[in-house]
Amino acid sequence: METRNYDVIIIGAGASGLMCTAALCNIDPSMKILVLEKNNKGGRKLLATGNGRCNFTNLDISTEAYNTDDVKRLINVLHAYSSKKIIDYFETKLGVIAAFKNDLVYPITYQSKTIADALLNAGRRAHFEYDTKVTSIVKKGMGYCVNGKYEADNIVIASGGVSYPDTGSDGSLLPVIKELAGASSLEKLLPSLVPLKTSDKDVKKLAGLRQECTIRMGSYIQNGEVQFTDYGISGICVMQLSGIYNRACSSGESIRSVSIDLIPSMDKKAKEEIISNLIKSFPEAPLEDAISGLLKKPIAKAVVDRSDKTAKGIAFVAGNFTVNLAGSMGFENAQVTSGGVKLSCLNDGLELLDKKGIYIIGEAVNVDGLCGGYNLHWAWASALTAAEAIVEECEGI
């Protein structure tokens, strides 16, 4: 079979692959770049981000928001590509103007398509082959041969994780990555930013209700809106805890439940006082009716049913509503994959330590962040890091 030669082959036209393509086109317009993508178009997951609005970075980027095996290397990348740098890059190189909602950063159009189009436009000089699933990367001479057909000295693996597989990132490149990097270079894949299931029947009965809460899982605390569903609990504050939960379960640690304060605006004493007053004011009413101006009635009923029916007991349950956990909703519903190629197995340019010319970026790397623009920030920062390293390497030859 006749092979075609390129300087760089990028596998995956998702967030990180498109940014790497755009950056390489921008830094060195003479570079021959091929992008191989199994979908029939680029940026499918990107279009779904932030409910179609794309929260593309966060003003408060720090390693605390991430899970990884190599915090030092993560600091290097995040230090080189702060949120300010990413926002500037989007404005000056891609023509995308940012808008801010507290620390969350969006394109001013509040449309993911703006970001996807800008990246595709900036990378248009590259050659894109869609409907092309990569199934092999083998060493050939100084470089690599992909699918027995395309050759390049530098390969960028930007194939994502395994969450939301319908968007394309289905793990189909994992056997190839395992072969190249070695099985020990891979951190176990787990769903993160995912709703949690419960076995509690009374919680499932609350399906459809939302409640502003403080939610505690061991020493981890989140504030926000909990959404009760027919399988368990969802909402950003729940999803923020899900990576910790799944990693703990996977390593045999026992996190069995979360504790929810259903009235976080009141301390224990205030809750007790107001519940006591309500019960006194409506002595004839069933308890859940008496407190239904304080808690939505089905939630009030669940709280009363779990309590000893005294004001003190009801207040205690309302502040410490336990939800027993029974796993998560899995990769199909996870916004991000925890695990992947260990950051410690890559150098500062995100090249595999013992495979010169193989770069790994985005969600394929063992770096996952909280909700709030952190995951796309990593996709951009890792893509720009690898693009710079590749150009330096090519210029050094």
Nearest approach, Cβ of 342 to ligand FAD (angstroms)?
A: 16
CA distance 255 to 324: 9
235 binds ligand FAD (CB under 6 A): no
Torsion angle of the four alpha carbons 57, 122, 361, 250, in this order, in degrees rounded to the nearest 10:
50
Q: To the nearest 5 percent, what fractions of the chain are helix, strand and coil?
A: 40, 25, 35
Footprint (CB under 6 A) of ligand FAD, residues 338-397: 362-364, 373-376, 379
Q: Which residue has the tokens 């709280």?
A: 303
- Is residue 173 close enough to count as binding ligand FAD by CB under 6 A? yes
- Distance, in Å, from the CA atom of 393 to the CA atom of 381, rounded to the nearest integer, reads 18
Q: Identify residues 186-225 at the interface with ligand FAD (CB under 6 A).
A: none
Q: In the 8-state DSSP scheme, what is residue 298?
A: H
Q: For the chain, how many residues are written?
A: 397
Q: Please report whether residue 39 would count as binding ligand FAD according to CB under 6 A.
A: yes
Shortest separation between residue 23's beta carbon and ligand FAD, angstroms = 13
Candidates 34, 78, 137, 158: give the one binding ligand FAD (CB under 6 A). Answer: 158
Q: How far is the CB of 192 from ligand FAD (least distance, A)?
A: 10
Applying the rule CB under 6 A, the residues between 14 and 33 that interact with ligand FAD are 14-17
CA dist list (Å): 259 to 161, 215, 216, 317: 30, 6, 5, 10
Q: Which is nearer to ligand FAD, 13 or 300 (CB)?
A: 13
Q: Which stretch binds ligand FAD (CB under 6 A): 43-51, 181-189, 256-264, 338-346?
A: 43-51
Residue nearest to ligand FAD (CB): 14
Instruction: Indicate the DSSP class of residue 310.
Output: S
Three-class SS of residue 257?
strand
Helix (H) or strand (E) holding 186: strand 186-192
Q: Which residues bind ligand FAD (CB under 6 A)?
A: 11-17, 36-39, 44-46, 48-50, 54-55, 133-134, 158-160, 163-164, 167-169, 172-173, 335-336, 362-364, 373-376, 379
